[in-house]
Structure 1
């Protein structure tokens, strides 16, 4: 259709390279760079972040794919080899976070680094990478909402190329990819600002703040999407998980504050290497 973007960025030796992959990789590279700078600020080494990516990236990809496949298993029963085919998408963010989080836990233990410290370092960069990654969904014509009108999209003052590309299967769609991308960018700004306030956040609360912010927005945005993964017939998996994470993270903040932990300011003074 005229005006729609081509999901293929370029061809390399006859192999199509999709914008989805280019954008996802760009988000990861930026996240690693930002996390490396933050690691140095709290007393770790840039190499700690780079080395973690050797653990975390494969784990995140596997987790993202398994999460998607588990809830779409009926599409893979006849052709299980299709599980390995991810060039057109089929990666669930929550699955990637679970896989990457597990890898981070074991990596930080292996390096004798506080797991909470590493999570704090990574959280703002991860939510920014997620904001960028949603544009990969845009290029793939996925992660959209219900039908709407061109007039509604124009009323949002969106660029023409976004409006044109939201005409999917003969109808204009709500740009839920964009809603989540904007929400995540705002989350990045909020987390960075809170992280810089001395004596305000305790160890681990940058990460828990990320969980609270992301799951809150994702719950409502997921409710608009038409390509959700479902469990038990009618329950949107991501909405259910968002509720669990939102209230679980708030509960952890309350519990850990009552228990007592190092402030973020104190960790900048050289205690970031303490295991925990």
Structure 2
């Protein structure tokens, strides 16, 4: 695809980094615009989003480095070049949740109500960010003969070249589209605080668990060669 969107000499804009940043921005705007309607302080929500964004990036990158440790042992400086691609969502989720709990307690914000506000924003950010994965070639699928298979040709892509692959990045984005629409619908009909967050967790885990079987990239530390790292985490979520 197009891992580098714009390039002028040494100046480069990586498509992955741009779309991930766009996903975060749109997600934050959605959360802040809905905050007061949900009876929450919009400024505190914005501050929380900043903490979540930073911690999610760090956690997602850290888990990716752990999973791909063999590569980074040979190229340690690549650890810091996250804009090229290489984030594991569950790593960001875990660290983001921990930092969120700290922030919510410190600022005396209602945990479940705030979590319900943020859940649709997470799905919205994912559906945009996954296209960054698509253009960078990370999170690629297994070899396939299906009509909608995609072939990467750019040598800077992270995916194998000249082979038809399952577009798992698109599968993940479409899964996020469904989750986002459902959560926005459910938000107007929820019966208890926490319902939106739990619905997100269940739906995302089911979709991610299924899509993992179509992934062709390194899936981390497989459990008895059956479950990938993400599937293993998804089972607990």
* Of 196, 210, 219, the match for 1:206: 196
Is 1:223–1:239's contact at 8 Å kept on the other side of the alignment?
no
CA distance in 2, matches of 1:152, 1:52: 43
Taking only aligned residues, the RMSD between alpha carbons, in angstroms, comes to: 2.0
1:229 maps to which of 220, 226, 237: 220
**Greater Rg by CA:** 1
CA–CA separation in structure 1 for the residues paired with 2:144 and 2:74: 35
* Structure-1 separation of matches of 2:138 and 2:72: 19
Stretches of structure 2 lacking an aligned partner (at least 5 in a row): 154-158
CA distance in 2, matches of 1:120, 1:12: 43
Give a deviation string over 1:53-97, Cα, whole Å, max 9, x none: 332221111100111111222222234333212132111111111
Preserved CA contact (<8 Å) 2:141 2:167: yes
Cα deviations by residue, 1:160-211 (Å, 9 ceiling, x for unpaired):
xxx45589422111111111111110111111111101xx431111001000
Count of residues in correspondence between the two structures: 230
Is the 1:144–1:175 contact (alpha carbons within 8 Å) kept by the matching residues of 2?
yes
Is residue 71–residue 231 contact of structure 1 (8 Å, CA) maintained in 2?
no
The answer (yes or no) to whether the contact 1:137–1:177 under 8 Å persists in 2 is yes
Unaligned runs of 5+ in 1: 155-162, 246-276
1:112: which partner in 2? 108
Length-normalised TM-score, structure 2: 0.90
- Please give the TM-score of this superposition, normalised by the length of structure 1: 0.78
Question: Corresponding residue for 2:156?
Answer: none
Distance 1:109 1:145 in 2: 40
The alignment status of 1:52 with 2:44, answered yes or no, reads: no
Query: Partners in 2 of 1:183 and 1:86 — Cα distance?
Result: 24
Deviation at 1:152, TM superposition (A): 1.6
Q: Specify whether residues 12 and 123 from structure 1 end up closer, same or farther in structure 2 by C-alpha distance, changes over 3 A only.
A: farther
